[in-house]
Structure 1
Amino acid sequence: MNINTLIGRRIRQLREARGWSLEALAERSGVSRSNISLIERGESSPTATVLDRLGAGLGVTMASLFEATAEASAEPSPLARVAEQPLWTDPDSGYVRRNVSPPGVSPIQLVDVLFPPGRRVAYDNAARGEVHQQVWMIDGVMELTVGTTRWYLEAGDCLAMTLDEPIAYRNPGTAAARYLVALSTPTMPKPRRAP
């Protein structure tokens, strides 16, 4: 399945599970109704910033937007084969992310990221419950600004944070950086219906 189609179906599934209209999600996320409609139909390639806003509006992590819509009768598999792991490239920064974890079986999500040199992406990180994140550098260097604190990470370094303030990622190096993001969502809010 095309990655934009997968993302669109997942956003629509999460929105409808809450009983929300396109307008309701637009209001909660700050993404226009027309843009959400294009994304849900798989006719738009959203940026990482837009996906982060939609995730925040839905009360889920961005990684959750890459999970395939499960059949109602199917039990989630504890195995995620590499060929089945969604791979996505941010059209703005060019960073490539692979959702490594099997969806729906654990409160931990793993994401493998390849970030091009000289590029930057920033997230507002609206509150979504208590979401913890760790970034473990595998190769290269990254500069992360969490709130007002700037961290410089090299291969082997690991930075822990809570997704409750703005975060910016920048690769100041001359080579691509690779890192693993681990997200833990022990208190993720349950889907809620609109009043």
Structure 2
Amino acid sequence: MLIMSSEPATDSSAAQEFVTRIGGRIRALRKQRGWSVQRLAEAGGLSRRMLTDIELGQANPSLATVDRVARALDTDFAALALPERDAADEQVEGTLVWQASDGSQALLLGATREPAAELWRWTLAPGGRYDAEPDRPGAQEIHHVLSGRLTLALESGPQVVAPGRSAVIASDQQYAYRNDGTEPVVFMRVVTGT
């Protein structure tokens, strides 16, 4: 699962709700397994202090960190991130997972478990950038641009995706999303093999 490390979420209530939700779910799953904070921290590749802050909702971890902890708990990112939905909910607006001070944001719209896939809606403000961490080997992403021009900064060089066009990339590499234009870029993102 790719995820954001370039800029933390703002202090908006939606961002705080996300941080609080994942912290509570991580703590509950850790306790269900009878694991100490130290054991989960080691399994997830982070410090005990960072994990404690995440569980208390006092840290804003990168989404890649949340993904590593989810895997250590034998679950997935979406299970920790998405709010529980009432069966009567017909419209899903998405879960704000990342937001930058320039208005750029990422909404997780939904996910499946088997096979694993996630559907996202991204908006990058002019000059906006998101630097991703490599996903697990074999992971891929599909991007479909609704408006603006998305630049995918890949190890092999930049790839520009125009409105109405799609691109598939291997996400098990260093990469970034960029908006080099003067209007916002809005795109859909599907992650597979996470």
TM value normalised by structure 2: 0.70
Q: Which runs of 5+ in 2 are unaligned?
A: 1-13
Q: Please name the residue that 2:169 is paired with.
A: 161
Q: Please name the residue that 1:96 is paired with.
A: 105
Q: CA deviation at 1:121?
A: 1.8
Alignment of 1:91-130 (within 5 A): 91=100, 94-101=103-110, 107-127=116-136, 130=138
Alignment of 1:61-72 (within 5 A): 63=78, 65-68=80-83
Question: Aligned partners of 2:155, 2:33: CA distance in 1, in Å?
Answer: 30
1:151 to 159, 177, 186: 159
For each residue in 1:18-59, what CA deviation from the matched residue of structure 2 results, as whole angstroms up to 9, or x when unmatched?
76544345445554332222222222333xxx2213314544
Whether the aligned pair in 2 keeps the contact of 1:142 and 1:153 (CA below 8 Å) is yes
Structure 1 letter corresponding to 2:186: R
When residues 11 and 145 of structure 1 are mapped into structure 2, their CA distance, relative to the original with a 3 A threshold, is farther
When residues 105 and 145 of structure 1 are mapped into structure 2, their CA distance, relative to the original with a 3 A threshold, is same
When residues 124 and 107 of structure 1 are mapped into structure 2, their CA distance, relative to the original with a 3 A threshold, is closer
Q: How many residues align?
A: 176
Whether the aligned pair in 2 keeps the contact of 1:56 and 1:126 (CA below 8 Å) is no
When residues 175 and 35 of structure 1 are mapped into structure 2, their CA distance, relative to the original with a 3 A threshold, is farther
For each residue in 1:82-134, what CA deviation from the matched residue of structure 2 results, as whole angstroms up to 9, or x when unmatched?
25x3123334775312221266586332111111211222122142x543211
Structure 2 letter corresponding to 1:145: A
Q: Please name the residue that 2:51 is paired with.
A: 36
Question: Aligned partners of 1:14, 1:147: CA distance in 2, in Å?
Answer: 36
TM value normalised by structure 1: 0.69
Structure 2 letter corresponding to 1:68: P
Structure 1 vs Structure 2 CA RMSD: 3.4
SS in 1 for 2:110: coil
SS in 2 for 1:101: strand
When residues 69 and 17 of structure 1 are mapped into structure 2, their CA distance, relative to the original with a 3 A threshold, is farther
